[in-house]
Chain A
Amino acid sequence: MGANITELDLIKYKANSKKSLLSYMWKSRALYVIALPGILYFIIFKYVPLAGSVIAFQNYNIFKGFTGSEWVGLEHFRAMFQYQDFGRILSNTILLGLYDLIFAFPAPIVLALLLNEIRLVFYKRFLQTVVYMPHFLSWVIVSGIALGILSPGTGIVNQVIKAFGFEPVYFLGENSYIRTILIGSGIWRDSGYGTIIYLAALAGINPDLYEAAEVDGAGRWKQTMAITLPSLIPTIMILFLLHIGRFLDLGFERVWVFLNALNTGNGEILDTYIYKAGLLSQQYSYTTAVGLFKSVVGLMLVFIGNILSKKTTGESLY
């Protein structure tokens, strides 16, 4: 076992002295050279901006830079909570996150359970191929398709509505439909793809369990409730925790492509607001504060979710 020898060697070297650790490292110096660009990448593109987030506590001036700008403490955070639109945008974000959790999160689970019941192998493969597909389309294209089929004048959905004698609806032209469209398009695009991981978990269930249940006289529904679903719980729990951590994170692109002047009232979320107020209106420090707020809340949600999950099911991310 080569791995053991090298590990042992390392321990020996470490025990001996610092100098021999260095000579040990020198032997595989090529590895360090190869790794260097990757390490630099993470420092430059991930950690430098993280440090740059201090501008949330400054009145950042692009000419004076980080060192020359004036420190203002928590002023931007205070301004954030006092700004009346912020409440609306935050509640939009939370509502959409909640809807996403209630409707979009269970969709792949249900879909995987139903797909799993299909016995015609070739047809099951075919269905899978079709439902995975939309995931690989960009949000811009998804929104283009939605705009096309939902258009009040030319869209096929409104043709059907008109055929039934109702007035056409301008779905993207008002506040009342935007949330449904956002969540619905998310389910349309990603729920099929989301089944992959559940289907793999389902394939891993020991078939003996089903045979035993059948001998005991359990029908398929009972088998599903007693065997299939419980076997999925660990997978569901892990994915649920990951989802909770991204609760406020519907994704900029997904929402931005559907927003217009008529539906921002209910559709605007923190990410789109950060882009508009930050990049377009150049309120750099203020929107960095909003972004930090979002990241910190996300981090806290991961921790809380993890604690709850550990207590209730024993599953946890770390």
Chain B
Amino acid sequence: MRGRYTRGQKLFNVFNLLFLTALALAMFLPFLNVIAQSLSSSDAIINGRVGLLPKDFTMINYQYVFSDHSIWRAFGVSVYITVLGTAINLIATASLAYPVSRPEFVGRKYIVMMVLFTMVFSAPLIPNFILIKNLGLMNTLWALMLPGAISAFNFFVMRSFFMQIPQELIDSSRIDGCGELRMIASMVLPVSKPVMASLGIFYAVGHWNTYMSALYYINKPTLWPLQVMLKKLFETDDISIDPASSVYSSLAHTSPEGIKMAVIIIATIPIIMIYPFLQRHFVKGMMVGSVKS
């Protein structure tokens, strides 16, 4: 704690506080506007009467979105690739990082170099596209999960975590007659819960936000994850209308803007829900990662 403040310092403190508060508001107010628009009538939106609070409060935009099957399906696709994709990420990353962290693994330096090189130099888009095509992964959800199975950065984070496990612990369980696999299951995995949790959350956010690879590798609208769906929605002014929907008749009261904003909120809610867990872990994750560099 630094001691007494002079007048100039006090003035600075006040301005600093005000400035940072304004900045935080700038980060937050756009959300409030999006929420307000999603809950406002089309009339209020079109006439530009919506500020930070809803005008002519209505749930019609949400009703419309919830009655649209394609948005539900996209939501389901996103949940599916987030859950399965994250599981694949963690298993794949750990199963390479653990052996490479063991001193008795001959040749681990070559593997580290092999991974490191991919961080500095990676192949352009088209060769990747041709590979996905030749592997028969086009228009499958595997194309969204397999190509990014191991992130080089996360591999290094996990490896440095495994390297911190005391060798004594491993030796003692070996003396107790544990085989390698039993030792991993009974000793390594339980102690690595923290790193699994933080990297898992990072991977999960990545999958939830997947857009680019879906744009490249998936042409079938039925397999589009939420982000692709959202982008399509932003690109047009007339949203796909399901004539069977009950809201169809009341469409006059919805507005493209209101619907877009409602979908933004729906796509953001999962992130906001895990944010408390996320925040607890990402600072730690980033620190472990930076120790290496």
Binding site for B on A (CB under 8 A): 1-3, 6-7, 10, 21, 24-25, 27-28, 30-32, 34-35, 37-39, 41-42, 44-53, 55-56, 62, 111, 114-115, 117-119, 123, 126-127, 129-134, 136-141, 143-145, 147-149, 151, 153-156, 158-159, 162, 188, 192, 196-197, 200, 210, 214, 219-220, 223, 238, 245, 252-253, 256-257, 274-275, 278-279, 284-285, 287-288, 290-292, 294-295, 299, 302, 317
Binding site for A on B (CB under 8 A): 1-3, 5-6, 8-9, 12-13, 16-17, 19-21, 23-24, 26-28, 30-31, 33-34, 37, 45-46, 48, 50-51, 92-93, 95-100, 102-106, 111, 114-115, 118, 120-131, 146-147, 149-150, 167-168, 170-171, 179-181, 184, 205, 208-209, 211-212, 215-216, 227, 230-231, 234, 257, 260-261, 264, 267-268, 271, 275, 278-279, 282-283, 286-287, 290, 293
B27 & A50 in contact (Cβ 8 Å cutoff): no
What's the minimum C-beta distance from B142 to chain A, rounded to whole angstroms?
A: 12
> Given A52-B123, A138-B227, are A129 and B45 also a contact pair (CB < 8 Å)?
no
What's the minimum C-beta distance from B172 to chain A, rounded to whole angstroms?
A: 9
| Bound complex: CA A134 to CA B27 (Å) | 7
Instruction: Report whether over half of chain A's contact residues are helix, strand or loop; otherwise say mixed.
Output: helix
26 sample A-B contacts, Cβ–Cβ < 8 Å, listed by A number:
A6-B167, A28-B102, A28-B104, A28-B180, A31-B105, A49-B127, A52-B123, A55-B126, A56-B124, A118-B16, A118-B17, A131-B24, A133-B27, A138-B267, A144-B230, A145-B30, A156-B51, A158-B48, A159-B48, A200-B287, A219-B6, A256-B212, A275-B216, A287-B126, A291-B124, A292-B124
What's the minimum C-beta distance from A86 to chain B, rounded to whole angstroms?
A: 15
Extra 5 A-B pairs, beta carbons < 8 Å, given A141-B267, A210-B2, A295-B121: A6-B103, A118-B20, A144-B230, A154-B37, A295-B124
What's the minimum C-beta distance from A8 to chain B, rounded to whole angstroms?
A: 10
What's the minimum C-beta distance from A164 to chain B, rounded to whole angstroms?
A: 14
A34 surroundings in chain B (CB, below 8 A) = 95, 98-99, 180, 184
Residue from A7, A48, A144, A192 within 8 A of B131 (CB atoms): A48
> Given A31-B105, A140-B227, A197-B290, are A3 and B167 also a contact pair (CB < 8 Å)?
yes
What's the minimum C-beta distance from A113 to chain B, rounded to whole angstroms?
A: 10
A144 surroundings in chain B (CB, below 8 A) = 34, 230, 234, 260-261, 264
| Bound complex: CA A111 to CA B19 (Å) | 10
B181 & A30 in contact (Cβ 8 Å cutoff): yes
B34 surroundings in chain A (CB, below 8 A) = 144-145, 148-149
B103 surroundings in chain A (CB, below 8 A) = 3, 6-7, 10
| Bound complex: CA A288 to CA B124 (Å) | 6
> Given A32-B99, A35-B99, A200-B287, are A279 and B125 also a contact pair (CB < 8 Å)?
yes
B46 & A154 in contact (Cβ 8 Å cutoff): yes
Residue of A whose beta carbon sits closest to that of B227:
A140
> Given A10-B106, A137-B268, A188-B27, are A148 and B257 also a contact pair (CB < 8 Å)?
yes
| Bound complex: CA A151 to CA B99 (Å) | 53
Residue from B93, B171, B286 within 8 A of A197 (CB atoms): B286
| Bound complex: CA A37 to CA B149 (Å) | 11
| Bound complex: CA A53 to CA B104 (Å) | 36
What's the minimum C-beta distance from A99 to chain B, rounded to whole angstroms?
A: 19
> Given A32-B99, A138-B209, A279-B216, are A287 and B104 also a contact pair (CB < 8 Å)?
no
| Bound complex: CA A143 to CA B286 (Å) | 26
Residue of A whose beta carbon sits closest to that of B260:
A144
A42 & B211 in contact (Cβ 8 Å cutoff): no
B120 surroundings in chain A (CB, below 8 A) = 245, 299, 302
A274 & B131 in contact (Cβ 8 Å cutoff): no
B282 surroundings in chain A (CB, below 8 A) = 132, 196
| Bound complex: CA A195 to CA B99 (Å) | 33
9 cross-chain pairs, A with B, having the tightest CB-CB distances, nearest first: A291-B124, A38-B96, A52-B127, A30-B180, A138-B209, A49-B123, A2-B167, A49-B127, A31-B99
| Bound complex: CA A252 to CA B20 (Å) | 31
A275 & B37 in contact (Cβ 8 Å cutoff): no
